[in-house]
Each structure stands twice: as C-alpha cells, then as structure tokens.
Amino acid sequence: MVVPNKILVIDDSGVIRKTVRDMLPAGKFEIVEAKDGVEGLNLAKKERPNWIMLDFILPKMSGWDVYQELEKQPELRKIPLVVMSGRKEEVTSKIPDASFKFVEFLVKPFDQKQLMAALKSSMEKVKLRVAAAPAAKAAPAAATAAATGDGAGAGEIQALKQQVAKLHAEIEALKKQQAQIMAFIKQKLK
C-alpha cells in the first residue's frame, strides 16, 4: 500500500510527535520522526517528505538553523513547512515577516483542526513561493530588454505573459487537486 502523504515531524518532544501521528487519519499519512535538528535535516534530504513540521527549539541544531539550511536548497524550499513553537515571539524575532508568506506557523499546543488547517495553509503558501520564483528570475531579464529598447524586449514580455498565464492555470489545477484531497480527508475524519 502506498501512502501518498509523508510528513516529517522534527521535534524533540515524543509527546508532540505522537500527538501529530494520532491526529492524522490512520493509513492516509506516513509519519517520519526526528528528535533533533541534525537528524531532521538529514531525513528531509533523504526522505523528501510532502510536509515538514519543524519545532523551533531543538537539540544539536536549532529549528532556526534547520530553517536556514532548508531555505538554501531549492528542492527543500518547495516542501510545505509548518514551524511549531509555544513561543511565537522567539520565532518571529528570527524569521523575517516576509518569510511567513511562504511558511506556516503553528502555536503549541494545538488541536486536530489547527493541525489540518496549518498543513493546508502551508500547501497554499508553498504554491505561492513556487509561482513567485520564476517571475522573480524573469523580471530582471525583462527589465533589461525593456531598458535597451530593442524589439526583442516586446517579444520577451509577451513570452513572460504567456508563462504567467500558464503558471496561473497550473495554480488553479493544483488548487482543485488540493480541494479534492482536503474533501477526501474531511470525509475520512467523519
């Protein structure tokens, strides 16, 4: 049996890891657990989970350091991330406000509804990050072409518009898929 939703839970608290495991519908999620930041980062690279839940205060390597390492690696940045902590002010003092456009925060302790909402929100946020990445890379090229005033600039702008339209279509398709997955999960939770 293939489990489509793999969640890496990086938390030094066995209670939190067990709580996450118990709150998710049995058979629908595979939980991979790490007790510290080093183990968590290694498992993120090896397992390529569908989600990462990261405690901010960890032994061996802090959640902040793990977060920074995840940010450096393009493939790992595409994984929806939920940062967990009982001390929100400690997290927000380190992670820039702009990053919360792409990362979900979950206050401990949390209930099943909050957990599911955080997982869903983190999926939406990572889609924004993926959609923003090609546009951010393409914008300097378009600006350079426009500044030179050559005819190729108009062609590049048109190509960028087509790329944006294609990305919007892909985002809509992903939203539809996500809605179907969430409906399925909600049905199984009843």
Q: CA-CA distance, 91 to 153, in Å (whole number)?
A: 43
Q: Six-digit token pair at 102?
A: 């792409």
Can you list the positions of beta strands (E) in the chain?
A: 5-10, 29-34, 51-55, 81-85, 104-107
SS3 111: coil
Task: Give bridge partners of residue 107 from the DSSP assignment.
Answer: 85
pLDDT, one tens digit for every residue, the chain (190 residues): 455 689 999 999 999 999 999 998 888 889 999 999 999 999 999 999 999 999 988 999 998 899 889 989 888 888 999 989 887 777 766 666 555 667 888 889 999 999 999 999 988 888 877 676 655 454 444 454 444 444 456 666 776 777 777 766 677 767 777 777 777 777 777 7
pTM: 0.66
Q: CA-CA distance, 116 to 131, in Å (whole number)?
A: 23
